Every structure is written in C-alpha cells, then in structure tokens.
Amino acid sequence: MLKNWRFWLGAAISALFLIIALRGLDLRHVWQAMKTANYWWLVPGVAVYFVAVWARTWRWHYLLRPIKPISLRSMWPVVVIGYMGNNIYPFRIGEILRAYVLKKKEGVSVSASIATILVERIFDGLVMLLFVFVALPTVPDLPGWLRQTVILASLAFLGALLVFLVMAARPSASRRLYSWGILTFAPVSVQDKLLRFADRFMQGLSSLSNIKDVFMVFFTSVVVWLLETVKYWFVMHAFNFTVSFFALMLMNGVVNLATTLPSAPGYIGTFDGPGIEVLKVFGVDATVAAAYTLVLHAALWLPITLLGFYYMLKESLSWQDIDHAINQSQLPDGSAQPPPASPENIENTVQMTLKTHNKRASH
C-alpha cells in the first residue's frame, strides 16, 4: 500500500482537511472536552448504528434479489466485513472486498455485485443531498463552500442515477451500445473479458428496471441515514452543546459527501474537517465541535471494524484474501475463475457478436 501513489494522494488530502479542521485550536482544550464527556451516551448511539447497518444489509439483499436471493443472515457478515475494509483501506477497497466475499460464499459474480454497490452509493449520495436541502433553511449563514459542494454533488449523483436508470430501462439498446464501443476501441485480447464484465454489470442494474424497486431502495436509504443521524444525536448528548436534529442531518450529509473524496484509511480528515465546520456554522464552540466530531468518528469507526475482524476470522478469511480481492479489482471481469453469472442468452449474444466482428475483421 505504501508504494501506491493513490495511498499518498489520499494521505495528502486527509492531511489538508485535518489542518483546516484543527487550525487555531488548542489541542489540550480539545482533549479536556473529550475527557469530560459522558460516554454512556455512546451505548445507544452504537446500538442504533448497528440497526442502520442491518438496514443496509436488507437494502443490498433487495438489490441482489434479481440476481440471486440470499438470506439476510448470510449477508450480514459480508456487509460488516466490507465496512471494516473501508475503514482500514483507502479508496473504499471494502466495497471490492464485500463483492469478493459474496462471490466466495454465494457464487455471485464480482462485477454484478459491484453494480449493486454502485447503485447503493448513488442513492446514498442522493439522500445525503436531500438531508442537506431539508436542513439548509435552518442554517444561519450558508458558507460559499457548502453551496458549491451541494451544487456539484447534486449534478454528479443525479447524472449517474439517470445513466443507470436509462441502462436498466433499455438493456438491449445499452448492450448494443457498449458492445459496439468495446469491439471498436478495446484491444482484441480483452474484448471478451470486457463484454462479460459489462453483461454482469448490467445484470446488477436489473433492480432499477421497476419503479417499485427504485422507490424501495430510496426509502431504505432514507431509513439508513436517518438512523445514522440518530446516532449523531445520541453522541451529542455526551457533550455540552445542543443543536437541532436538522443541523445534525446537515452535518451527516456534508461529511458523508466529503468522504467520497480520496483520503487516508478510515476517512481521516475528510470526515472531521467538514463536520467541525458545519457545527461552527450553528454557533458551537470550535473546541467542543472538534471533540464531538473526533469522538463521533471513533464511535462510527471502531465498533464496526472490530466486528468486521471477528467475522473475518469466523469466515476463515486471511489478509491474503484481501490482497486477492484488491488484485481482482484490477481485472476487467473481476475474476476469471467462476463461470459467468449472467443469463445464458447474454453469453450467447456476446459470443455471436465476437464471431461477427472477427469475420468482418478477416474480410
């Protein structure tokens, strides 16, 4: 990891956010505020957070149903291991790990799982933006950086969702389009892998073809993030300040949008800096805001990471498995070992398309 330029890019971004967050603060006062906190409030906060993780598990179960029905009991450890991976590796490697473990346990292709995870992330982003818009009327003085963040993030997430909805609604046309692009521009040696990856990815988007399913995924996403905001509310009571639930919704939305940026493992800096700044906008003392945000970050990070390590041991996973999952993420089809998970007629279409293209090339 230390030899990877992406790790150092994330570390640099985290360092920048930490400098912004802690500038002008006396860290001794921050530590004093942390020492005097009532940590009993973390108990209900952690409990409600695990309920939110269960809701995430149900949402992923719902997205995977068109591919393979999997019980919530079987999926729960996979989700927890994935979040543990996000917390200890940069660039959300935990998402790749989650797809890898699911393939190992249930035989679902990595590329199809990644498609459903991308759908999750898009809906997460849209709900975060919804939280921001709902809470904006309560902001005393909206900072320019927050306004710009909301505008850019809105364009990005809405654009991605629109593309995925169109692909799910018009699978045949989408398949023809990406098949043409791959067969025209990709090297012959990887065309077959790219086509299989694209077909499996399309299969992962199948849950978006039904408006009822889209609504259910959105509703579940709202539940997930409301529960996480409830954790913010519980942890707030451990400190000597009070803001409205809407303010915490805004903080939740902003910090989680910020954590989509590259960062050091565990979202160091990208979580803390924006969180402190949002609380300062609502008049919270900078020292108390810093102490609260750092404790909240630890309470979000530590319990799910420890549980992830437990399930990692229980599932007989090793660090070599994580390295293998990361290496597989570099391949076009996610893995070359298992048989394709896409329907047989899709595979036949791919093979026929390849044969037609080769005949034309020979002429």
Higher pLDDT, 146 or 28: 28
pLDDT at position 333: 43
Residues above pLDDT 70, as percent of the chain: 87
DSSP string, 309-339: HHHHHHTT--HHHHHHHHHHTTSTTS-SSSP
Token pair for 285: 């003392």
Higher pLDDT, 349 or 208: 208
pLDDT band at 290, cuts 50/70/90? Answer: very high
pLDDT at position 358: 46
pLDDT at position 2: 62
Q: 215-272 pLDDT, tens per residue?
A: 888 899 999 999 999 999 999 999 989 999 999 998 998 898 888 888 888 898 889 9
pLDDT at position 206: 77
Q: 99-113 pLDDT, tens per residue?
A: 999 998 899 888 888
pLDDT at position 357: 41
pLDDT at position 362: 47
Other residues' Cβ atoms within 10 Å of the Cβ of residue 209: 15
Torsion of the alpha carbons at 337, 94, 249 and 23, rounded to the nearest 10 = -150
pLDDT at position 334: 42
Exposed e or buried b per residue across 120-151, where buried means at least 16 C-beta atoms within 10 angstroms of its C-beta: bebbbbbbbbbbbeebeeebeeeeeebeebbe
pLDDT at position 347: 41
Measure the CA angle with vertex 130, ends 129 and 134; round to 5°: 120
Q: Which of 81, 96, 98 is nearest to 304 (CA)?
A: 81
Q: Is residue 3 over pLDDT 80?
A: no
Least confident of 46-55, 260-269, 342-351: 342-351
pLDDT at position 1: 62
pLDDT band at 324, cuts 50/70/90? Answer: confident
pLDDT at position 89: 84
Q: Is residue 72 over pLDDT 60?
A: yes
Three-state SS at 340 = coil
Q: Is residue 340 over pLDDT 80?
A: no
The mean pLDDT of 199-228, rounded to a whole number, is 85
Q: From CA 177, how far away is CA 128, in angstroms rounded?
A: 32
The mean pLDDT of 165-177, rounded to a whole number, is 87
pLDDT band at 355, cuts 50/70/90? Answer: very low
Higher pLDDT, 315 or 361: 315
| Chain mean pLDDT for the chain | 83
Please give the single-letter amino acid code of residue 361: A
